[in-house]
Amino acid sequence: MTLGNGIFDVVVPRSFRLLEELERGEKGIGDGTVSYGMDDGDDIYMRSWTGTIIGPLNSVHEGRIYQLKLFCDKDYPDKPPSVRFHSQINMACVNHETGVVEAKEFDMLSNWQREYTMEDILTQLKKEMTAPHNRKLIQPPEGTYFW
């Protein structure tokens, strides 16, 4: 996030940015079908996060709850977090063996911008579930996990 009038731009430090995201995640997002928070409240580097997506209506994902892991390395938000589904899912951008969201297959990660947030990633993944190439894919049994 960059603040300023164009002459003196201020880059928000990583820790402030993550605290902002944590606060937003704890308050609840939009319609409540996407949420996220820290895995370990004692991690002062705020690296490990858990996300949840409730499958969108009118898709094979409807009513399912998907759990994800997000990892924000020291370069976040300048570089995207790594994102991996814990719940098994069949989507074009997800590695079918590991659950990793492949950056080259997921535009938001391959064209990462500092302004993007974990909320944006989760919201975009939910939207991706309804894309024509994903909307009717046969899914693994509910309640199965990648690891």
What is the distance between the alpha carbons of residues 132 and 92, in angstroms, rounded to a whole number?
A: 11
Q: Specify the pLDDT at position 1.
A: 44
Domain locations along the chain: 8-129
3-state secondary structure 73-115: CCCCCCCCCEEEECECCCCCCECCCCCEECHHHCHHHHCCCCC
| Architecture field, domain 8-129 | Roll (3.10)
Q: What global pTM score does this model have?
A: 0.90
Please write the tens of the pLDDT for every residue from 43-96.
999 999 999 999 999 899 999 999 999 999 999 999 999 999 999 999 999 999
Please write the tens of the pLDDT for every residue from 115-134.
999 999 999 999 999 999 99
Crossing angle of helices 14-27 and 118-129, in 10° steps, is: 50
CB-based contact 84:144 (threshold 8 Å): no
